[in-house]
Amino acid sequence: MDDAAQSLGLRPGMPLADARAMYPTLAIAESDEEADRHLINAVADWCDRYTPLVGLAAPDGLMLDITGCAHLFGGEAAMWRDILVRLADQGLHARAAIADTVGCAFAVARFGDTFLVPPGSARHALAPLPMAALRLAPEIVEALAGLGLKRIDDIIDLPRAPLAARFGEILVRRLDQALGREDEPITPRLPVPSYVAEQSFPDPIGRERDVLGTIARLAARLEAAMERRQDGARFLQAALFRTDNKVYRIEVGTGAPVRNAALIARLFADRLAVIGEACDPGFGFDIVRLTVLVTEHSDPMQRGLGQKGGMRDEFLQDGFGCLDDEVAFSHLIDRLGARFGPRRITRLVEQDTHIPEFAVTALPAHSARTPPLTHNHRIWLGASSPSPRLPSGRLRPSLTGYGEGRGEGAFPQALTRGEAPSPAPTLPSPACREGKGGGDLSPQSGRGEKQDSLSPTRPVRLFGWPEPVEVIAEVPDGPPARFRWRHVLHEVAAAEGPERIAMEWWHDTDGQKLTRDYFRVESREGLRAWLYREGLYDDATPAPRWFLHGLFG
Amino acid sequence: MSVESPETLHALRRSVAALTVGVPGDSRLVSFGVDSLDQALAGGLACAALHEIGPAVPLQSGAATGFTMALIARTLRERGQAVWIQPDFTVTEAGALYGPGLDLMGLSTERLVILRVPRPRDALWAMEEALKCRAVSVVVAEFSREEADLTATRRLALAARAGGGLGLILHPNVYGSRLRSQPFCRHPSTAMTRWEVASACGARDRFGGLGPPTFVLSLVKNRRGRAGQWRLSWDHHERAFTTSLSLPVAPATRDGSYRKALLRDEPPRTQRRIRAG
C-alpha cells in the first residue's frame, strides 16, 4: 500500500476483489512477512543510536524508551523530527509519537494527529481517539461499537467493574496502561548494557585503524568507570553504526574480568582481523559504541612485584601459580577465542558415562575449570583443591574420576597413584574370569603396587566417526586375526579383549543401539588400534560389523 | 686454531648461538632420563626451540601422538600449561585427541587446552601467538610438511625463543614410503630436532599382555649432536622413559589360546609364585 493507493481511497484490510473492482489496473504484490520482519529489525538496530532500550511492537512498530535521552538530541521535539527525517532519508515513511506511556504513544502514533503529547496530558490526547487505539482485539472493539461506545472518551469515565465483567479484564488494563495508572515496561530487544561509551562523528570514519583507535579511546573511558565500581568486563560489544542504516555488532568474551583498555582494544583488533571483509564500512561509520554486557566483580590487583619477589615465591610454594602467568594465559585464551570463536578453544572434561565417545566432552576453555598452573602431584578431579580463581556460580561440569567405579565394565585405576598404603593383591573379579564384561586387566589387582604391567586401555586418538574395517575373527566373540583398514591389511600379533560396553538403555528409547565388544590389538608392524564389533552374534545381528575407533600411542 | 679451555669453547658457542635462529644459548632442557639419548641431545630436548615429530609409518599417527604426549607430560612435570592446535582436517583424518587416553599417557586433561582451527594456515598464526606467551610451557601444532616451510618455522622458532616454551610440530600423517626416496632430514626447516616415531611391536608386560607404549624413535636431525635410533618405553606413572629390551614377537594365536594371553587366569598364579619365592 503506497501513497498513491492511499489517495485513491484504498485501505489496509480491504478485500482484494473490492479493490480490483474499483481499480482493475491495480498492481499487486504478495506480502513477504520475512522481509518485513527483517526490515523492522534493521530499523530497530538503527534506532539503537537514540536509546539502548528499543522494543519491538510487532508486527510493524517500534517502541523506544527515551527517558533521559531526549536532551542529547536537543529536546523531544528535535529528537522526534530527527528520527522522522532520517527515516525519510532512507525511504521509509513513519509515524512517531512521544508520550508518557507506551499505550498512549501507540495510540497517538497510529490514530492521532498531535504527535508530541506533553507530560500529564495523556487523558486529553487519548479522549478523541477510536477504541482500536487501545490495542484491543477486534471482537471487543466491535462489541463496544455495538453499544455505541466508539471513542475512548466514551469509556474513560465509566464504572470499571461492569466494563471488566462484560468485556474482560484486558479492556480495563489497556485503558489503565494508556493513562499511566498501570506500569508497562518495554521489553528491550537486546540486553541492556552495564557500561556504555560512545563516540559520534560528524564526518564518518571508514578505516580500520580509525575504528580500532576509537574503540581503544572508548575502552579507556570504560576502564575508568569500571575501576570506580570495581567491576571487570566479561563480555563486550562494539556497535558500529554505518551512515546508511546498517549496524555491525562485534562481540568479544573474556575468561577473567578485564578492565585494562589496552587488552580490550587488542581483543577487538583480533576479532576484526577475522571478520575483516564481513564488516564493510561502506560510506563510513558515524557512531561507534562500546558496551559492557556482562560484568563481574574484580578486586583491584597489585601485580608485577618482580620476578623473584617475596609474594611470587609464596604463591609458587602454595601451588597456586604465578598471578602474572595466569593473567597472561587467560589473555592468550581470550585472544585465540576472539579470533577463532570461543567454542574452538576447549578443555577436555570427563563425563559420567561409559560410552567411549561421550566419556569426554570439549568445553570452552573458559567455562571449564581453570586449574592452578603449578602442581606437584596428580590431582584428580572433584577431590582436588578448588582453583583460587574459579568464578562463583559458573557452570561447573560434573566430574567423575575413572577411579571411582564406572557403571560398566572395569576401568583401570592406572590413573590414580597408589598413595594409600598398598593393600594385598586381590584376585581378579569374577566378571573378569568369565571372560565377559570388561575382561581385561583387572584394575583392582594392581592398586598400590608398581603397575608396570598396564598398557593404556584407552586410545590417544579417537575417530569422531568410527571407521569401518574388514575383519576376520573367530565367531562368536574371538579377537580379530587380521583386519583391513584404509586399504591396508594388518595381521594381528596380539589382542586383548573383549571389553564389552553396552549402550545406555535408559537413554535408548527405540532399542536401536547395539552392544559393542572392544578389542585392543597390535599388528605385526606395531600398530595398536582399538577395534570393536557392533552387536553380538545372535538373531538380531547375524553379521555384526567391525569398526576401528581409535589409535593407541 | 686450538681450543684452550672448555670455558672458551662454551663462550664461543654461546656467541654463535646468539647469532643463529633456533639455537638458544641457555634454555631449559627436558631430559629424557635415558643417558645415551640425553647425551646425543647435549642434556635433553631444548625448550625455547622448535622440534618436529612425525610417524615413521604412514598409519602410525597414534605412535607419534603418544610420543608427543609423553614429551608434554615430561615437560609439564612441575608446572605449566600446554596448548594443542589441530586443524579441522587432521581431526577428521587422524582422529581427535581423546581425554581418557591422554590421562593414561600421564598427561592430565586439566593441563591441556585444545584449539581447533579451520585451516592449517591459522594453526601457524595460533602457534606463533601461543609460543610468544610465556605462561605456556608447551605448544603443539599439527600441520603437514608443506605448511611448515622455512619461513614459517623460522617465525615459529623466533617466537619460541621469545616465549621460552617448547614448540612441537606434529606431522599427523606424513612421510611413509616417500620418505625413503626423499630424505625427510633434507626438508628445510629451522627445527632443532626431528623425530620419526614408530611403535615397537612385541612389547609385552610380565603377564604376556600388551605392554606399555613403546616407541622406536629415530632422531633424524639434531642440531646439537648426533642422530640415532632408540627404543624406549613410556611409564606414565613415573612419567619416565625406560629403555626396553627387544623381546621376541609373540606368535599370533588363532587357535583360541589367545585367552591365555589375556590376564584372566594369569595374575593369581603369578602372584602366588612371587609370594612363594
Q: For A361-403, how does the pLDDT look when each residue is reduced to its tens digit (9 = 90+)?
A: 888 887 655 444 433 333 333 333 333 333 333 333 333 333 3
Q: Does A20 touch chain B (CB under 8 A)?
A: no
Name the least confident of A19-23, A193-197, A216-220, B215-219.
Answer: A19-23
Chain A residue numbers with beta carbons less than 8 Å from the beta carbon of B114 are: 345-348, 362
Does the pLDDT value for residue A74 go beyond 60?
A: yes
Tell me the pLDDT of chain B averaged across its residues. 78
Would you report the helix, strand and coil content of chain A in percent, each value rounded to 5?
35, 25, 45
CA distance A472 to A504: 28
> Whole-structure pTM over 0.95, yes or no?
no
Residue A529, pLDDT score: 92
Top-confidence residue, A509 or A287? A287
User: pLDDT for A428-468, tens place per residue?
Assistant: 333 333 333 333 333 333 333 444 446 788 999 999 899 99
Residue A346: its H or E element: strand A345-350
Q: Decide if A244 contacts A282 (C-beta within 8 A).
A: yes
**Sorting pLDDT into bands at 50, 70 and 90, what band is A489?**
very high
Q: In A, residues 463-502, which contact B (CB 8 Å cutoff)?
A: 463-464, 474, 478-479, 481, 485-486, 488, 491-497
How sure is the predictor about A486, in pLDDT bands with cuts at 50, 70 and 90? Answer: confident
Give chain A's mean pLDDT: 76
In chain B, residues with a C-beta closer than 8 Å to the C-beta of A345 are 113-116
Look at A28 and B104; give whichever has higher pLDDT. B104
Going A429 to A433 to A438 to A444, the CA torsion angle's sign is: positive
Region of poorest pLDDT, from A259-263, B5-9, B57-61? B57-61
Confidence band of B130 (pLDDT split at 50, 70, 90): very high
Question: For B209-230, how does the pLDDT look when each residue is reduced to its tens digit (9 = 90+)?
Answer: 888 888 999 888 888 888 888 9
Tens of pLDDT along A317-328? 333 344 577 788
Q: Measured between alpha carbons, how far is A13 from A135 in angstroms, rounded to an integer?
A: 17
Are residues B212 and A488, on separate chains, in Cβ contact within 8 Å? no
Determine whether the interchain pair A350/B100 forms a contact, defined as Cβ–Cβ distance below 8 Å: yes
Q: Which residues of A touch B99 (CB under 8 A)?
A: 348-350, 359-360
Q: Is B71 on the interface with A (CB under 8 A)?
A: no
Q: What pLDDT sits at residue A511?
A: 64
**What Rg, from alpha-carbon coordinates, does chain A have?**
34
Residue B27 exposed, middle or buried by CB count within 10 Å (0-12, 13-18, 19+): middle
Distance, in Å, from the CA atom of A24 to the CA atom of A247, rounded to the nearest integer, reads 42
What is residue A78's three-state secondary structure? helix
Which of the four pLDDT bands, split at 50, 70 and 90, describes residue B174?
low
Average pLDDT, stretch A181-201?
A: 84
Chain B nearest-CA distance from A509, in A, is 27
Tell me the helices (H) and strands (E) count for chain B, helix number first: 10, 12
Confidence of residue A298 (pLDDT cuts 50, 70, 90): confident
Mean pLDDT, rounded, for B121-135: 90
Tell me, what's the pLDDT at B4?
A: 67
pLDDT at A524 over 50: yes
Q: Bigger pLDDT: B238 or A400?
A: B238
Q: pLDDT tens across B245-261, in order?
A: 544 444 434 443 433 44
> Rounded mean pLDDT of A256-267?
86
pLDDT score of A483: 93
More confident site: A478 or A384: A478
For residue B113, give the nearest of A347, A350, A440 by CB distance: A347
B112 and A347 within 8 Å at the Cβ level: the answer is yes
| Percent of chain B predicted with pLDDT > 70 | 77
